[in-house]
Amino acid sequence: MTVPELLAPAGNPEKLETALAYGADAVYLGLGRFSLRAGSGWASLAGLAQACDLAGRYGKRLYLTLNAFLRPGEEREFSRLLTQLRPLPVDAYIVADPGALRLVREIDPDRPLHLSTQANVTGVAAAQFWQEQGVKRLNLARELTLEEIGAIRARVPVEVEVFVHGALCVAYSGRCLLSAAMTGRSANRGECAHPCRWRYAVQEETRPGEFFGIEEDARGTYLFNSRDLCLVEHLPRLIEAGVDSLKIEGRMKSRYYVAAVTRVYRAALDAWRADPAGWRVDPLWLRELATVSHRPYGSGFLFGGEGAGVQPSDSRYRQSHLFVGAVLDDGGPDGHLVEGRNRFAVGDELEVIGPAMRQGVFHLAAASNGEGAPLTVIQPNARVRLKLPAGTRAGDLLRKPRAAAADGG
């Protein structure tokens, strides 16, 4: 058994750098067009070229999502894009549409292809079909159980990738028209407005204007809403099933999410590599995963069939900590240069986190602006100098416990 690849989202240049520094083996990202995350696209081919360079310098792999389903008239633009992309050292394209696959085969025949979860591979025959089309890796449908994942991996000579962390759709593999119907933004075109996470009420036909809340407890019930996926406690079983790549969802999520989640899964995989027989869940990993904004965690479909996997849950997001700043340099006599992300203040209890589960708690003793004038409050986006613990490095992130965060704004 080999240690699977850890695959993290890289929704923009900052998140790319973070994913690479915090332990991803590979990253995935999309351009503005033809990627099922319209809001997280990389703006230009030049930016993508720089991303490839950076991943190469880290010795990591970069995959490009081209997983939109093409409509008549889009093929020409898609083909033109493929031609422009050809010189770039992208390690694989992630596609879902057989038409897109066919065009890649014509225009860029040597490019490795991964199949997106949107293609919905749920069985051995489907996996064999895609393998015969030259697909190197399948991101299997999220609805599969551990046993089914293992069966496909054992019977088809193809790499297998599964999601291990992040949001789940209640609609089958995200094939959902709710957002398109309610907002005109189609989930199937990468524009989902997430209406499944809104609050709903029932109206009885003969009582217009009277709304009955759908509630089970004080927080209410959110009929369409699923738990978030978290499989860190089950990594050994995924490794035993032969999974080749563990994917973290979340190209639209924050840089802090990318850092915190990637480093936890990195630590869990490294612990397994060091001692597979003695591997145990470190409670610190679960505490760390609770620091990011998330809905209640679950194991999705891994241990049950349909119905067991996506349980309705309270749709409110929770997080134990607030991301307040990013460290921009290694520090000097005047302290470290920091960019604020949320408001915080001198005297606050803060935590600094870095790659390899480096972290520490401290009280912020002093802050100053670019001219050296002392500050008491640090505002979002402000660039300031802070007195941080020794050993704090560029790329480390600052966070604040949530109760204290509320006090300080």
What residue ranges bind ligand SF4 (CB under 6 A)?
A: 169-171, 174, 176, 178-179, 187, 192, 194-196
Q: Number of helices (H) and strands (E), helices first, in the chain?
A: 11, 21
Secondary structure, 3-state, the chain:
CCCCEEEEECCCHHHHHHHHHCCCCEEEEEECCCCCCHHHCECCHHHHHHHHHHHHHHCCEEEEECCCCCCCCCHHHHHHHHHHHCCCCCCEEEECCHHHHHHHHHHCCCCCEEECHHHCCCCHHHHHHHHHCCCCEEECCCCCCHHHHHHHHHHCCCEEEEEEEECCCCCHHHCCCHHHHHHCCCHHHCCCCCHHHCCCEEECCCCCCCEEECCCCCCCCCCCCECEEECHHHHHHHHHCCCCEEEECCCCCCHHHHHHHHHHHHHHHHHHHHCCCCCCCCHHHHHHHCCCCECCEECCCCCCCCCCCCCECCCCCECCEEEEEEECCCCECCEEEEEECCCEECCCEEEEEECCCEEEEEECCCEECCCCCECCEECCCCEEEECCCCCCCCCCEEEEEHHHHHHHC
For residue 137, the SS3 value is strand
CB of 96 to ligand SF4, least distance (A): 14
For the bound state, the minimum distance from the C-beta of residue 29 to ligand SF4, rounded and expressed in Å, comes to: 20
Q: Which is nearer to ligand SF4, 121 or 167 (CB)?
A: 167
Work out how close the CB of 173 gets to ligand SF4 at its nearest, in angstroms, rounded to a whole number.
9
Q: How far is the CB of 225 from ligand SF4 (least distance, A)?
A: 8
Closest separation in Å from C-beta 182 to ligand SF4? 8
Q: Closest separation between CB of residue 200 and ligand SF4, Å?
A: 12
* Between 102 and 197, CB nearer to ligand SF4: 197
Compute the distance between CA of residue 340 and CA of residue 346 in angstroms, rounded to an integer: 13
- We find the least distance from the C-beta atom of residue 191 to ligand SF4, in angstroms, to be 9
Q: How far is the CB of 76 from ligand SF4 (least distance, A)?
A: 28
Whichever of 104 and 178 has its CB closer to ligand SF4, that residue is 178
Closer CB to ligand SF4, 118 or 392, in the complex: 118
Q: Which amino acid is at 65?
A: T
Our CB check for ligand SF4 shows the closer of 96 and 178 to be 178
Q: For 346-368, b where at least 16 C-beta lie within 10 A, e where not — what string?
A: bebebbbbbbebeeeeeebeebb
Shortest Å distance, C-beta 213 to ligand SF4:
20
Report the first-to-last Cα separation within the chain, whole angstroms: 48
Q: Which is nearer to ligand SF4, 194 or 237 (CB)?
A: 194
Which CB sits closer to ligand SF4, 224 or 285? 224
Least spacing, CB of residue 169 vs ligand SF4, in Å = 3
- Residue closer to ligand SF4 by CB (options 144, 171) is 171
> Which lies closer to ligand SF4 via its Cβ, residue 194 or residue 393?
194
Q: Which is nearer to ligand SF4, 66 or 170 (CB)?
A: 170
